[in-house]
Amino acid sequence: MFNFVLARLSSAAVVVFGVICLVFLLVHMVPGDPVDMMLGESAQPADRVALRHELGLDRPLLSQLGHYLNGLAHLDLGTSFYTRRPIADMLAERLPATAELAGAGLAVAVLIAFPLGVFAAVRKDTPWDQGAMFFSLLGVSVPNFWLGPVLILVFSLGLGWFPVSGRDGLSSLVLPAITLGTALAAVLSRMVRSTLLEVLGEDYIRTARAKGLSERTVILKHGLRNALLPTITLLGLQLGTLLGGAVITETVFSWPGVGKLTIDAIMRRDYPVVQASVLLISLSYVGVNILTDMVYGWIDPRVRVRGN
């Protein structure tokens, strides 16, 4: 297990380094000069030179990258062009809201996907199954930036059940969570259905049935438990889609999270903030994937052995 963890961590380190470099380069692709953006067109040349030096923009790219990495190592993410505040503080303020939304979206997805997937698998090839799978296909096909406004239209403006936007208590979380969780619920329910069907064809299921266990016990205890593993892996991988979707969902509902901060920063051309928030979201995703891998390796020894 130790070797397995070590191998996973070392390959993750390469990925993390690559992600940091790519995000660093991304912001250096910006057309124009950030100094012009900060000081305006009419600034004095001397001020420009001073600011360039202060920001380190007069140094070679590699040296800037070194400086950036050094800052990251000390959790110094730089200063926002717009608010002039340390970016680390801005992100720390926003992170709980995004974590809350992502957690709630995940909960919505799991709560819909498992019952729906099991239901469809048990009634395989009946109209129920086809209906459930069509519903799931519909879920994948509805973009969250449309589902969100439609939910607002019906449940906020129409019925007045939930607030239109903002983050204020549990009722404000409901619509964003559904908006974010629907696509994942759809993908996941198909996965639950197909893995459960595969497992139900195994010999030990026949044995369980032959022992006279109730169909309920066979499916939930012997079937679903074994179908859980591949589903967990998919969940880890799909969490990236969830985090990416959070950027759009937060914008739709004015949810004060890291995603909304990213989009606001793009609009204000506040590139250090864009850089830092994209990095934060991506690294959280990498972290979750390593965790998924380890949980998987811990539950299923075969993965561990193959990993070595």
Partner 1 sequence: MRAAYGFPAAILLTWLLMAVLGPMLPLHPDAIQLPMILHGPQWHEWLGYDDLGRPIVDRLVLGAATSFYVAFWVVLVSVFVGSLVGAVSGYLGGAVDAVVVRIIDIFLAFPGILLAIAMAGVMGPGMENVVVALSVVGWVGYARLARAQVLSLKHRDHVVAAVALGRRPLAIVVHHLLPLIGAPLIVEATFGVAGVVIAEAGLSFLGLGVQPPAASWGNMIRDGSRYMLVAPHMVLAPGVALMLVVLSVNLLGDRLRDWLDVRGRPHA
Residue 257 near residue 250, CB atoms below 8 Å: yes
**Separation between Cα atoms, residue 89 and residue 198, nearest integer Å:** 48
| Shortest reach from residue 104's CB to partner 1, in Å | 17
Work out which of 7, 15, 99, 232 binds partner 1, going by CB under 8 A. Answer: 15
Residues 287 and 293: their CA atoms lie apart, in Å, by 10
Binding of residue 238 to partner 1 (CB under 8 A): yes
For 14, other C-beta atoms within 10 Å of its C-beta total 9
Interface residue with partner 1, options 114, 162, 285, 296 (CB under 8 A): 285
Amino acid of residue 177: A
Q: In the range 46-105, which residues lie near partner 1 by CB under 8 A? A: none
According to the binding rule CB under 8 A, does residue 110 interact with partner 1? no
CB of 97 to partner 1, least distance (A): 17
307 binds partner 1 (CB under 8 A): no
Q: Is residue 210 near partner 1 by the rule CB under 8 A? A: no
Q: Is 165 in the site for partner 1 (CB under 8 A)?
A: no
Q: How many residues bind partner 1 (CB under 8 A)?
A: 57
The amino acid that residue 205 corresponds to is I
C-alpha dist (Å) from residue 204 to 189, 209, 211, 213, 226:
24, 9, 10, 12, 11
Which residues are bridge partners to 86 per DSSP?
79
Q: How far is CA 164 from CA 106, 118, 167, 176, in A?
A: 21, 34, 10, 10
Q: How many CA atoms lie within 13 A of 249 on its CB side?
A: 32
Does residue 242 belong to the site contacting partner 1 (CB under 8 A)? yes
Q: Kindly calculate the radius of gyration of the chain based on its CA atoms and give it in whole angstroms.
A: 24
User: Closer CB to partner 1, residue 164 or residue 213?
Assistant: 164
Q: What is d(CA 151, CA 109) in angstroms, rounded to the nearest whole number? A: 17
Interface mask (CB under 8 A) for partner 1, residues 243-282, using x and -? Answer: xxx-xx--xx---------xx--xx---x--x---x--xx
Candidates 86-94, 134-142, 209-217, 219-227 — which segment interacts with partner 1 by CB under 8 A? 134-142
Amino acid sitting at position 153: L
- Least distance from C-beta 174 to partner 1, angstroms? 18
The site for partner 1 (CB under 8 A) is made up of 11, 14-16, 18-19, 22-23, 26-27, 29-31, 130, 134, 137-138, 140-143, 145-146, 149-150, 152-153, 157, 183, 187, 190-191, 194, 234, 238-245, 247-248, 251-252, 262-263, 266-267, 271, 274, 278, 281-282, 285-286
